[in-house]
Amino acid sequence: MQKNPVDSPFAAGTRVSELRVVGDHDLASFGARFGAAALDTVVIAVLYLACLRLPGMGNSVLALVVLTGIRLLYGALQLQFGGGRTLGMRAFRIKVKPVGTERGRLTAGQAWLRTAVFALPAAVLGVGAYLSILDCLWMLWDRPNQQTLHDKAARTVVVRA
């Protein structure tokens, strides 16, 4: 039985032309995605700063764990239960949709995987920021779906809502 190339976007021999966007939506621009991410970062920073006021948060390892937890919960829960949109995505009128399926809703697994691949590398001290930057810039040269690495891992695309 031959495997559908869309089943694994990282598999050898996957042809980019076989990936397809669900529906008639246009892909979101880099500017809209950047703006949404910036707004989400502000919201996460406010939540994080509020958590830093809690007793025992002077420990830098604990603070990093809390920040990573906030990023995971903030992103995954909104994507899963908010129609594929975070607060920033709502403001910039974009949303996350699955690739290669006729269903327009993300599964819980896609929401959590996409968020984890985005949030967890940033927690790696020393190289985390570089990995996050590479992940986000990936869409600038990815064709045809302008996917980031976290989009590819979860088999999603970001479209205008």
Beta bridge partners, 137, equal none
In a domain, 5, yes or no: no
Query: Is there a contact between 117 and 149 (Cβ–Cβ < 8 Å)?
Result: yes
Give the chain's domain count: 1
* Tens of pLDDT, residues 43-96: 999 998 888 887 777 777 888 888 899 999 999 999 999 999 999 999 999 999
- pLDDT at position 153, please? 96
Task: Tell me, yes or no, whether 16 lies in a domain.
Answer: no
> What's this model's pTM, rounded to 2 decimal places?
0.80
Distance (Å, whole) CA 51 – CA 118: 21
Q: Report if residue 146 sits inside a domain.
A: yes
Please state, in angstroms and rounded to a whole number, the distance separating the CA atoms of residues 2 and 89.
37
Indicate whether 54 belongs to any domain: yes
Distances 79 to 62, 92, 109 between C-alpha atoms, Å: 26, 15, 11
pLDDT at 11: 45
Instruction: Give the H or E element holding residue 151.
Output: helix 149-154
**Tokens at 79, concatenated:** 């994507």
Question: Could you tell me the residue range of the domain that residue 154 belongs to?
Answer: 22-160
Whether 1 is covered by a domain: the verdict is no
